Structures are given as C-alpha cells and as structure tokens.
Chains A and B, each alone.
Chain A
Amino acid sequence: MLNTEVKTELIQIVGAAGYLDRPEELACYSYDAFVEEALPDAVIFPKTTDEVSKILKTAGRYKIPVTGRGAGTSVCGAPIPVRHGIVLCFSKMDKIIEVNTRDRYIIVQPGVVNADIQKALSPFGFFYPPDPGSMNSSTIGGNIAQNAGGPRCLKYGVTVDYVLGLEVVLASGDIIRFGSKNIKDVTGYKLSSLFSGSEGTLGIITEAILKVLPKPEAVKTLMVTFDDLDNTARAVTDIIGSGILPAAMELMDQLTLNAIEDSANLGLDRNAQGALLIEIDGVKEACDKEMKKIIEKLKENGAVHIQEAGSDIERDKLWTARRSAYGVFAKLAPDIVSEDVTVPVSKVPEMIRRIIEITERYGLRVGVLAHAGDGNMHPMIPADKGNIEEWQRVEKAFSEIFKAAADLDGTLSGEHGIGLAKSAYLPLVMNQSTINFMKKIKHAIDPDGILNPGKFV
C-alpha cells in the first residue's frame, strides 16, 4: 500500500471512488492472460487526461512505478505491475468522442472496447480493421500499446497502420499530441509508430484518432483440406506469391482440425493433415476472379476437399470453428501456452516442421495454428503448470521455437508483444546496439523509469 501522504494526494485527484487498495481488489489487478502475477499497491481509475497528468506528476515526485491497464487481456504480461506501485486502469475512460466516416476517422478514449468501435462504425458501413482475438473485451489503449493484430491484418495491416494521431501523457506529466485527422500527414517524426507497441513504457495514451475503412462489398470464404501438412503450407506461399492478398489465411494441423471437429461438427475430414480457412473480400467481380485463381493454386498443391461458404450463416460457422480452436485446446490440460512467433511466409512450411520436431523431442502435444498468410504462427501447447517437470519442458521447447524462428529470419512476436514473456529472447532478433538505442529513447523520456518498469526495455 502507498503511504498516507501519497494516497491522500492521489485521492484528491480522482476521488475516493477512483482509488482502490484493499487486498481483495489489488489481487484482481495482479494478472493478465499471461501466466505471471504481481500485486500493485493501488489501482486508480482516471476519467480525464488532466487527471492522468496530475497522477503522473505525483507518481514522478515520489518515484512510484505506474503501469497502464485496459481490460487486462494481454497474453505477454504487459500490464502486470512487476515493480508494484500504481496500476492506472482505463476501463472507465471509455467515450467515443467522434465518428466521422466522411473524413474516415474515429476519435476515442483509451478505454473504448475494440468491438464497440466496430459497433459504432457498422451503421455507416465502415469498420476498423485490426481484430485481435480479444476484441470483444480488449480496449483500444491496450491495442495500441501492444500494436495488436488479428486474422484480417494479413491484408489490412496491424494497429499502427490505423493510428492517425495520439494524445499521450509523458512520465513528467506533460501532455503531447501528434498526428492529426489527416490520412496523409508527414509533419515531423512519425511518433505514432514510436508509441504503438511501446507497451506503456514511454507514455500513457489518453486519446486516439484512428483511421477507418468502408466495409468491402463482397466476402468469400473457403475451407480447404489437404492430406499433407507441407502441401498445406506450400499452398499458402503459392497463393501469396501469385500476387493475391486474401483478407485472412488461417492454417490448422490435424490435431487442431480434429479438436475443432469434436466441438463444431462441420463434417471436416478427420484424416486430413492440414486445412486452410481462406477469406477474400473486396469488389464482387474482383473476388470472383481471385477466387478462381486461388482454387487453381489449391488444386496444384493437392487440395483434397474445397468447400465454399454459401451464406453468411455458413461463413460464421467456419469462423466460429476456427475461433473455437484455442478453447478446445485449452480443455486438453489445466493450462495452455500459445505463442506468436512469425516468419517470412515462404518459411512457413519449414517453421511448421521445426515446431513439430521440437515439441515431439520434448514429449509435448502441440496444435499448430497460424495466420499463415503473414507467417504468424500460433503453436499451442496444453500442459499443467502445477507439474514442474512438464512446465520446464514447455519453457525449453518455446525457447527452441524462438531460436528456430530467428534462424529463419523470423521474429519473436507478430501481434502479442514482448512484455514479460519474451524479454529474455530479444537478443535473438536485435543486436546490442539496437537494444541500447531503445534504452536511450526510454531514458530520455522517462529518466526515473517509472512507466511500466521491469519490462523489455
């Protein structure tokens, strides 16, 4: 708990209702969707940018760590307050300030839930492309801080590609605003890129201007099975290589496919070694043309069964099945670890082979699921954290998987972020000078290191 003097000062800023520090409450802000936990000393709910600025000034004066939090759905431990101090929770700062589809932007506070942005845009025929798996709960502040992705980011790009402008409170309490409502804006450094993926270590996002897009007029969805996992992966590289950019290309191996079939009963071939869920969208005529070419490529790579969704209901059913994969795996053991190593798309077949080889060597089950079109792999390992010996094998396997990705010119994270989960592996993909450069930036803006300390920088 913070001392009385600090507590009084903070309560003066947000009011007693905006300040929590009973043990029962603190326990609930010690976690996210990652496996670690650490208790904060206080949880504060700001409502305005001004309050955030005052809180940071106070925290800076007493050198108290401040860790931002939205809905706590991060899978890499980013909002876990490992150095304790204050958790600044934005779930109540959740107003949509302006929807402007004529100029193609939306202005939101950080606590707005991703799905609520979609709901606000839908009546105008617009959407916000980044669609992380947590989109029904996760907040936009967290999405930006983690530079979140999602299945359709293959075609549309990740969060940073949609950040037009931000309002950020720095560790000093200074409020900065950069970017604008303009789709084209090259005024000064592209600071939105610096803060997207900064994981709360550089500043606290208090408002965002986001680019939005008109919904495509046509969507087509295919489910394809193969009798060989290599062929499945090659079909992906072939389609991308031929110049077609689907909205999503999801790859599933046999274990995943069977797990889905157990729960969703789609009539998929249980003997299939691999499957792809492919979605294209755009102008109807263009979709038809692309679809023809995709089917050609699939057949060349030995696709056994190609099924096109005939209606929105069938399409929903295919996506529900794909999304249920994680849950089905989660039921195989008390715990589950899912990572998001990413490789260039041409290396997807080799990466899959290596994941399977590594997990087999450690005697672990693995489900291979991937946003394969952009090389973003999601190997899922169900295991029991209570079984120390097994858990060590899981950690060793992932450490080798990270190395394998780096060997293949890949990277540690395609969309989850680094947080606590992968800090130790940064040297695999960055040289020391680059890591030092990040540290210099951090030190220049936050010399006392109060913002989300204990993380990757």
Chain B
Amino acid sequence: MKEKKLQNCGKCGLCLNACPVYKILKEEQVSPRAKLHLIKAHDQNTIASSAFLKEIISKCLMCGSCSAVCPSGIDHYSKFMEMRRKMGEAHGEAPAIKSLIYLLAREYRTGFGAGLARTGQKLVPAGLAKKFKLGNIPIKNFPELNPVPFRKAHDEVIFPKGKPAGRVIYFTGCATNYLYEDTGDAVIGILTHMGYEVVIPKTQTCCSIPLLFHGAKDRAMENITANIKALRDIEAEAVLVDCSTCGEALKNEYPRLFEPHDEHLVAAQDIALRVTDIISFINLHFDLLQFDPDITGKIPVTYHAPCHTRNTFSSHLTVEKILQAMPSVDYRQTPDSDQCCGGGGTFFYEYPEVSKKMVDKKIESAKAVEVSHWLTDCPVCRMNLAGNTEKKDGLTVLHPVTLIHAALKQI
C-alpha cells in the first residue's frame, strides 16, 4: 500500500462521538484518535507490538464513521488496515477468523460454497459451529445457504423486459451468492423491470474487504485482480452492488491498492467511477418503476442504515425517501436508524459483549415502532439483526430491494 504523507491527527476528539465502539465502551483507547496515536507510537517504537495492542486495534468495525467526521481529512481506513496487517502477521488470528480468511481467499478458485450447499449446510462449517459460540448470534439463527450459489443459478447475461433502457453489471458479492438469493432475485427483477440488461460476470469473486480488514493483503490481491479483470472490459453504464461494503471496496479501496504505474490502476479507477449501490441507482431511475395498482394496504416498515451505506454512498436517506414514496409501504423511522448495529464484518464474533449491547438497543427501537419488516442493505447487518431478534419480536429482516420488487407491476 502506498504510504502517503498524511495530516497529523489534531486530537480534537470529534471522532469520539462518531465511533460506535467508543459510544458503548466509553474508554479512550478504543477511539479512532487513540488508535492513530497507538499506531504512531508503535511506528516510533515507543509502544511495543503485543497481542493486547492487536486486540485494541481490532476493536473496530471499520465502518468509516471517524473519517466521515474528521476535520483534518485523515484516511483512517488505510492506516487501520496496514496496522491490522502488521498485527495479524505478528500475533496471528483466532482459528475461526483464520478459517474465514481461508475460505474467502479460496472462493475464486474453488467455489467452496457450491460443495457445502449441496449438503444443505449452514454458512458456518459444522465443526466450527459446535466448537465456537459464534459471537452474539445463536447458531440456529444463522441463515441457510442458497441451494445453488446465485451466480451458478443464473445466466451470465439476463435480458430486460419491456423497453430497453441500457446495460449494467451486477457485482453480487459473497452474501447474495451464498446466503441471500432473495436479494439477488429482487435486484434482477427490478433491473429487468426497468428495462436493463444485467450482466453477472462469472469470474467475479469475493471483494476481499474481509481479507483486507484482517490484514491478509497478499491473499486479497489475487481476488482483487480477478475482479478487475472480470469487470473492466464489459461495456455498461454502471457496476451495481447490493452490499455497500463490496461497494466501498470497489469504489474506494481498489484504486488505493496499486502503485502509480501498475497496469491495474487505470482499470481500478475506471471501475470505481462506475460503481454505485442498487438503491442510488433505483432512485436515479425511479420514474422507470411501475408499482402494482392492485396492491392494497400498507406494510409497516422500518430501516437500519448500515455504516458503509452512510459513509460511502450516503444513500441511507435515499432508502427512506424511496420507502416513503412507495404506495404499499408505511415507513416508520426509528430515532437511531443511523446508529451502528455492531455487526461490522466479524466484529460480532470477536467482541460479542460490545456487539450485543449495540444490537439490543437497535432491536428495542425497532420493536417500539411496531413494524413487521426491518429493512437493511448490508448482509452482515441483516445477519446480525435477524440473528438477534426472537420469533416473538415479529420482525422479518430483509434487503429493501425485496419489498420494492414485490410492489412492482408484472410486465
């Protein structure tokens, strides 16, 4: 990674109240400002590398909320990722995290999910599930794997219905591919309804954000170059993601990973320019949606805004706008809809006590507005919210596209 001469942190402390982890723990050492201080101290050899230092550094959701409020414009992401890499190398990862890195790194070459899916297993291999309590989420609440991985189940090119509007690439991400095919089906349904031809490149693979966050940069690079190759040569007006974290990777991280003269840099920058999240895209072409006039009644719905949706695409307000504009939805906002749920990649696994406090607060406020559906456009948030709600809470957690798709007129 290119080490840029960056602004010094002025330690103003504005990041404290933006940081979801600080807000729960209220201890300076977990704050973004403290992490920068420790990274600097480690670089200057005044703080030694230790397993405890690794623990502090990884007590972070990588949500980007600190950078979003930082008046000095500090790039926390790059600094934290580089430090995570160093700490991972020096002190190793927990066995479960190691397995995850192994699986995601091999995703492109072996298609691990396909094999698992046929035997109807859950996301987490049985051995791991029995051995480790998976963070704050009871094992029984983890989603089932798709019967067939989404990309395998679909053609590479899907043609539009009605009047052609254009062509887009769909970067499905691992969650839609292996867990949440309902999201993928809705994305394709909406896009083809709007008149878009949808290209789902077969050679796309894990965006590799989980690998980068856990410092496995070398293993990530193989996936990343595979993705760039898969996306760069297809003519399309947009590269769409249904997961804002994949979007964050494609839009912000990929271009930062290459040296100025690297052959992949230009392609990465070109892809980054075309990346947008499905919600913003729907909003941009809202006039192409035809809602089914025969649907009567309104579904009571609330929304949880994922951190990367807020900080990378600022499309959380767009989701609310769309929901308010939909004839079949009664949108009820919670006062903390923009607060982090504590899912954060593998954070819910690594720091269950912190994560549990965060998600419980969210569930309380979702229950208070008395809705049947809780929408969120991040698969980890979905897993975390759904995994922590009880049956009696009566909350179905879905990606917003599923409800949008269900409200459309058949054409």
Which A positions have Cβ atoms within 8 angstroms of B? 20, 22-25, 27-29, 31-33, 45, 71-73, 75, 89, 91-92, 94, 111, 113, 115, 134, 136-138, 324, 326-327, 330-331, 334-336, 385
Most chain A CB neighbours (cut-off 10 Å) among B8, B15, B47, B56: B8
Contact at A326–B71, with CB atoms within 8 Å? Answer: yes
Contact at A330–B28, with CB atoms within 8 Å? Answer: no
Enumerate chain B residues within 8 angstroms of A31, measured Cβ to Cβ: 11, 37
Enumerate chain A residues within 8 angstroms of B52, measured Cβ to Cβ: 22, 24
B317 within 8 A of A: no
Enumerate chain B residues within 8 angstroms of A326, measured Cβ to Cβ: 71
Q: CB within 8 A of A28: which of B8, B29, B48, B72? A: B29
Contact at A33–B13, with CB atoms within 8 Å? Answer: yes
Enumerate chain B residues within 8 angstroms of A22, measured Cβ to Cβ: 52
Enumerate chain B residues within 8 angstroms of A334, measured Cβ to Cβ: 7-8
B406 within 8 A of A: no
Enumerate chain A residues within 8 angstroms of B284, measured Cβ to Cβ: none
B38 within 8 A of A: yes
Enumerate chain B residues within 8 angstroms of A28, measured Cβ to Cβ: 28-29, 31, 34, 37-38
B14 within 8 A of A: yes
Contact at B56–A29, with CB atoms within 8 Å? Answer: no
- Bound state CA distance, A307 and B189, in angstroms? 48
Contact at A32–B14, with CB atoms within 8 Å? Answer: no
Contact at B73–A27, with CB atoms within 8 Å? Answer: no
- Bound state CA distance, A91 and B28, in angstroms? 9
Contact at A24–B8, with CB atoms within 8 Å? Answer: no
Q: CB within 8 A of A134: which of B8, B12, B72? A: B12
Q: CB within 8 A of B13: which of A20, A24, A89, A138? A: A138
Contact at B73–A335, with CB atoms within 8 Å? Answer: no
- Bound state CA distance, A384 and B16, in angstroms? 25
* Closest B residue by C-beta to A29: B28
Enumerate chain B residues within 8 angstroms of A134, measured Cβ to Cβ: 12-14
Contact at B16–A71, with CB atoms within 8 Å? Answer: yes
Contact at B13–A73, with CB atoms within 8 Å? Answer: yes
Q: Which 6 A-B pairs rank lowest in CB-CB distance, beginning with the nearest?
A: A327-B71, A73-B13, A28-B34, A28-B29, A91-B26, A137-B16
Most chain B CB neighbours (cut-off 10 Å) among A28, A45, A326: A28
* Closest B residue by C-beta to A87: B28
Q: CB within 8 A of B17: which of A92, A113, A331, A335? A: A113
* Closest B residue by C-beta to A119: B335
Shortest Cβ distance from residue A186 to the other chain B in the assembled complex, whole angstroms: 37
Contact at B38–A27, with CB atoms within 8 Å? Answer: yes
Enumerate chain B residues within 8 angstroms of A91, measured Cβ to Cβ: 26-28
Contact at B10–A330, with CB atoms within 8 Å? Answer: yes
* Closest B residue by C-beta to A89: B28
B53 within 8 A of A: yes
Chief secondary structure at chain A's binding surface: loop
Enumerate chain B residues within 8 angstroms of A24, measured Cβ to Cβ: 29, 38, 47, 50, 52-53, 56
Enumerate chain A residues within 8 angstroms of B100, measured Cβ to Cβ: none
* Closest B residue by C-beta to A115: B17
Shortest Cβ distance from residue B39 to the other chain A in the assembled complex, whole angstroms: 11
In the complex where A24-B53, A327-B73 touch, is A385 in contact with B38 (Cβ < 8 A)?
no
* Closest A residue by C-beta to B35: A28
B41 within 8 A of A: yes
Contact at A137–B17, with CB atoms within 8 Å? Answer: yes
* Closest B residue by C-beta to A329: B71
Enumerate chain B residues within 8 angstroms of A115, measured Cβ to Cβ: 17
* Closest B residue by C-beta to A325: B71
Most chain A CB neighbours (cut-off 10 Å) among B13, B47, B56: B13
17 further A-B contacts with Cβ under 8 Å, apart from A27-B46, A75-B12, A89-B28, are A22-B52, A23-B47, A24-B47, A25-B29, A28-B34, A31-B11, A33-B10, A45-B27, A72-B11, A73-B13, A92-B27, A94-B26, A136-B14, A137-B17, A324-B71, A330-B10, A385-B8
In the complex where A28-B28, A28-B29, A330-B71 touch, is A335 in contact with B8 (Cβ < 8 A)?
yes
* Closest B residue by C-beta to A138: B13
Interface size on B, residues (CB 8 A): 31
- Bound state CA distance, A89 and B30, in angstroms? 14
Enumerate chain B residues within 8 angstroms of A92, measured Cβ to Cβ: 26-27
Enumerate chain B residues within 8 angstroms of A113, measured Cβ to Cβ: 17
* Closest A residue by C-beta to B71: A327
In the complex where A89-B28, A91-B26 touch, is A27 in contact with B11 (Cβ < 8 A)?
no
Enumerate chain B residues within 8 angstroms of A331, measured Cβ to Cβ: 7, 72-73
In the complex, which residues 67-95 of chain B have their Cβ closer than 8 Å to any Cβ of chain A? 70-73
- Bound state CA distance, A27 and B40, in angstroms? 11
- Bound state CA distance, A92 and B24, in angstroms? 10
Could you name 13 residue pairs across A and B whose Cβ atoms are closer than 8 Å? A23-B47, A23-B48, A27-B38, A27-B46, A28-B28, A31-B11, A32-B13, A72-B13, A91-B28, A134-B12, A134-B13, A330-B72, A334-B8
- Bound state CA distance, A77 and B46, in angstroms? 21
In the complex, which residues 259-297 of chain B have their Cβ closer than 8 Å to any Cβ of chain A? none
Shortest Cβ distance from residue A144 to the other chain B in the assembled complex, whole angstroms: 17
* Closest A residue by C-beta to B28: A28
Interface string of B55-69 (1 = CB under 8 A from A): 010000000000000
In the complex where A92-B26, A138-B13 touch, is A27 in contact with B37 (Cβ < 8 A)?
yes
Contact at B11–A32, with CB atoms within 8 Å? Answer: yes
Enumerate chain B residues within 8 angstroms of A29, measured Cβ to Cβ: 28
In the complex where A24-B38, A27-B38, A331-B7 touch, is A33 in contact with B26 (Cβ < 8 A)?
no
Enumerate chain A residues within 8 angstroms of B46, measured Cβ to Cβ: 27
Shortest Cβ distance from residue A286 to the other chain B in the assembled complex, whole angstroms: 33
In the complex where A24-B53, A137-B16 touch, is A72 in contact with B72 (Cβ < 8 A)?
no
* Closest A residue by C-beta to B26: A91
Enumerate chain B residues within 8 angstroms of A137, measured Cβ to Cβ: 13-17
Shortest Cβ distance from residue B322 to the other chain A in the assembled complex, whole angstroms: 20
- Bound state CA distance, A326 and B15, in angstroms? 15
Shortest Cβ distance from residue A335 to the other chain B in the assembled complex, whole angstroms: 5
Shortest Cβ distance from residue A371 to the other chain B in the assembled complex, whole angstroms: 18
Shortest Cβ distance from residue A34 to the other chain B in the assembled complex, whole angstroms: 8
Contact at A27–B17, with CB atoms within 8 Å? Answer: no
* Closest B residue by C-beta to A30: B37
Q: CB within 8 A of B41: which of A27, A33, A75? A: A27
In the complex where A94-B26, A327-B71 touch, is A136 in contact with B17 (Cβ < 8 A)?
yes
Shortest Cβ distance from residue B15 to the other chain A in the assembled complex, whole angstroms: 8
Interface string of B154-184 (1 = CB under 8 A from A): 0000000000000000000000000000000
- Bound state CA distance, A23 and B50, in angstroms? 11
Enumerate chain A residues within 8 angstroms of B38, measured Cβ to Cβ: 24, 27-28
- Bound state CA distance, A33 and B28, in angstroms? 13
In the complex where A27-B38, A27-B47 touch, is A71 in contact with B10 (Cβ < 8 A)?
no
Enumerate chain A residues within 8 angstroms of B10, measured Cβ to Cβ: 33, 330, 335-336
* Closest B residue by C-beta to A75: B12
- Bound state CA distance, A115 and B46, in angstroms? 35
Enumerate chain A residues within 8 angstroms of B29, measured Cβ to Cβ: 20, 24-25, 28
Enumerate chain A residues within 8 angstroms of B15, measured Cβ to Cβ: 137
Enumerate chain B residues within 8 angstroms of A32, measured Cβ to Cβ: 11, 13
* Closest B residue by C-beta to A22: B52
Shortest Cβ distance from residue B54 to the other chain A in the assembled complex, whole angstroms: 10
- Bound state CA distance, A31 and B46, in angstroms? 15
Enumerate chain A residues within 8 angstroms of B73, measured Cβ to Cβ: 327, 330-331
Shortest Cβ distance from residue A157 to the other chain B in the assembled complex, whole angstroms: 24
Shortest Cβ distance from residue A197 to the other chain B in the assembled complex, whole angstroms: 20
- Bound state CA distance, A258 and B344, in angstroms? 38
- Bound state CA distance, A385 and B27, in angstroms? 28
Shortest Cβ distance from residue A164 to the other chain B in the assembled complex, whole angstroms: 26
* Closest A residue by C-beta to B18: A136
